[in-house]
């Protein structure tokens, strides 16, 4: 069957499931099975499913994501985020408008932008910032860490799909994060007023230590991500002694997330068994289509349609393994284009939960923020393109 037709069917199936508000984990499994049925004989389909469900990669992915969720919940439920937020607010109101969403963004959680929106609402009100601009600042800066911070599931999935470590992905993705920060500031900073510094609460800033510890273990000591996450989580538990550890454990083993990871690995397994990514790559090149364009537009489209980085990483990236490469053949510049496209798609998606919730908190329509989102996206894409060409 034509690979473009298969891809179109997969996207339609995913959209139909989303319209019916189906469980996201179950939806990815259905999409994976749809790919398998269309591309593999029954015997090969069964063997591929068995190999995937018994592979170490699947259980490593479950461990990684569960640890990332547990660490995020532990920091939130222990009050560490609120302490650091208060420190930023007392330091400078203008800085806190940007720093608080970025801080909350380091601890990914569903609808996390609503948390930072509530924390910064009073600051925006006192500084007389329009609510459409406030929506943009909170939403945009909440997500600038997507390409480089290992608590984001999209980055973890990328590690498994492309079979590379977190440092390799961070060494590429930092230019996207830099581009996002620069674009957001260029569009908004001139409207937030002059900087006015207040009290410096150094003691409160010390609660950033789990984030610094995790980054140091990954980027300086080059520990494996699962070990770095486990050690940081243990350190937080010992230091803060959470009373609600049952909720932390329950959240980290969310059945929906486990189903999602099973679906992602089944999708990858069926893709490899059917040689679908290579067929897709061959068809695109035979049609004279520039794969750089495909690697940008495919993740962007899925991100735009679904509003979640998990989806563009789990659906688009397996399609691009023949182009981006895996393991020792991984090409960072090609991954840069794909990750930038996916991130822009997610940020521009009207289906993004964080955009919807932020708009609701600030009392504006979802579309009001697009007067800032669109120019920021253009600037960010231009900066990333510049890094790609260098």
**Cα three-residue angle 201-203-209, rounded to 5 degrees:** 120
From CA 314, how far away is CA 244, in angstroms rounded?
32
What is the overall mean pLDDT for the chain?
84
pLDDT at 201: 65
pLDDT at 62: 85
Helix/strand/coil percentages in the chain, nearest 5: 80, 0, 20
Q: What is the mean pLDDT of residues 148-172?
A: 89
Q: What is the mean pLDDT of residues 15-44?
A: 84
Least confident of 110-119, 156-165, 183-192, 228-237: 110-119
pLDDT at 219: 76
pLDDT digits (tens, 9 = 90+) for 277-312: 777 777 877 888 888 888 998 888 888 877 777 778
Element (H, E) at 6: helix 3-19
pLDDT digits (tens, 9 = 90+) for 76-103: 777 776 777 677 767 677 888 898 888 8
User: Would the pLDDT of 198 be above 60?
Assistant: no
pLDDT at 243: 66
Q: What is the mean pLDDT of residues 105-111?
A: 71
Most trustworthy range by pLDDT among 205-214, 271-280, 333-342: 333-342
By C-alpha distance, which of 48, 58, 54 is closest to 273? 48
By C-alpha distance, which of 144, 169, 143 is closest to 334? 169
From CA 321, how far away is CA 135, in angstroms rounded?
36
By C-alpha distance, which of 28, 18, 9 is closest to 349? 18
Contacts of residue 160, Cβ cutoff 8 Å, sequence gap at least 6: 57, 60, 61, 264, 265, 268
The residue length of the chain stands at: 390
pLDDT digits (tens, 9 = 90+) for 208-251: 788 888 888 887 888 888 898 899 888 888 887 766 677 777 77
Are the C-beta atoms of residues 267 and 28 closer than 8 Å to each other?
yes
Phi/psi region, residue 171 (left: phi>0; alpha: psi -120 to 50; beta: rest), is alpha
- Helices 42-53/24-39 angle, 10° precision: 140
Q: How confident is the model at residue 126 (pLDDT cuts 50, 70, 90)?
A: confident
| 84 vs 32 pLDDT, higher one | 32
Least confident of 160-164, 193-197, 307-311: 193-197
% of the chain with per-residue pLDDT over 70: 93
Long-range CB contact pairs, 365-372, < 8 A, 24+: 368/131, 368/132, 368/135, 369/132, 369/135, 369/136, 369/139, 371/132, 372/132, 372/133, 372/136, 372/140, 372/187, 372/188
By C-alpha distance, which of 83, 238, 71, 212 is closest to 151? 71
Neighbours of 201 (CB within 10 A): 16
What tokens appear for 91 in the block? 């330091």
pLDDT at 133: 94
User: Would the pLDDT of 177 be above 90?
Assistant: yes
**Cα three-residue angle 336-278-384, rounded to 5 degrees:** 10
pLDDT at 1: 66
Provide the residue range defining the domain that includes 71: 3-389
DSSP helix/strand/coil, 20: coil
Most trustworthy range by pLDDT among 110-119, 141-150, 221-230, 348-357: 141-150
| 343 vs 74 pLDDT, higher one | 343
User: Would the pLDDT of 195 be above 60?
Assistant: no
pLDDT at 197: 53
Domain count, the chain: 1
User: Would the pLDDT of 109 be above 70?
Assistant: no
């Amino acid at each position: 069957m034509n690979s473009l037709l298969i891809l179109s069917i997969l996207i339609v199936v995913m959209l139909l499931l989303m319209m019916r508000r189906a469980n996201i984990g179950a939806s990815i499994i259905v999409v994976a099975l749809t790919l398998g049925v269309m591309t593999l004989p029954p015997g090969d389909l069964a063997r591929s499913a068995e190999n995937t469900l018994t592979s170490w990669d699947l259980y490593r992915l479950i461990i990684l994501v569960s640890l990332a969720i547990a660490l995020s919940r532990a920091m939130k439920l222990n009050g560490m985020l609120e302490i650091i937020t208060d420190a930023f607010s007392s330091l400078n109101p203008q800085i806190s408008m940007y720093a608080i969403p970025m801080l909350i963004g380091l601890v990914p959680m569903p609808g996390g932008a609503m948390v930072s929106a509530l924390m910064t609402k009073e600051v925006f009100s006192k500084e007389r910032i329009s609510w459409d601009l406030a929506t943009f600042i909170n939403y945009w800066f909440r997500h600038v860490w997507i390409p480089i911070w290992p608590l984001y599931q999209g980055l973890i999935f990328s590690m498994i799909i492309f079979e590379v470590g977190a440092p390799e992905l961070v060494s590429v993705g930092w230019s996207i994060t830099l581009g996002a920060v620069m674009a957001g500031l260029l569009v908004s900073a001139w409207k937030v007023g002059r900087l006015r510094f207040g009290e410096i609460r150094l003691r409160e800033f010390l609660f950033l230590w789990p984030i610094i510890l995790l980054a140091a273990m990954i980027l300086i000591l080059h520990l494996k991500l699962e070990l770095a996450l486990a050690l940081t989580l243990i350190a937080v538990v010992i230091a803060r002694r959470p009373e609600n550890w049952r909720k932390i454990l329950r959240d980290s083993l969310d059945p929906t997330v486990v189903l999602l990871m099973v679906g992602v690995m089944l999708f990858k397994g069926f893709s490899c068994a059917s040689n679908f990514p290579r067929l897709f790559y061959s068809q695109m090149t035979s049609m004279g289509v520039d794969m750089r364009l495909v690697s940008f537009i495919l993740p962007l489209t899925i991100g735009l349609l679904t509003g979640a980085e998990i989806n563009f990483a789990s659906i688009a990236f397996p399609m691009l393994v023949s182009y981006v490469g895996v393991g020792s053949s991984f090409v960072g510049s090609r991954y840069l284009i794909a990750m930038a496209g996916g991130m822009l798609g997610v940020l521009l998606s009207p289906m993004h939960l964080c955009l919807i919730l932020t708009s609701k908190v600030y009392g504006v329509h979802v579309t009001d923020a697009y007067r800032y989102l669109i120019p920021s996206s253009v600037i960010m894409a231009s900066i990333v393109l510049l890094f790609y060409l260098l």
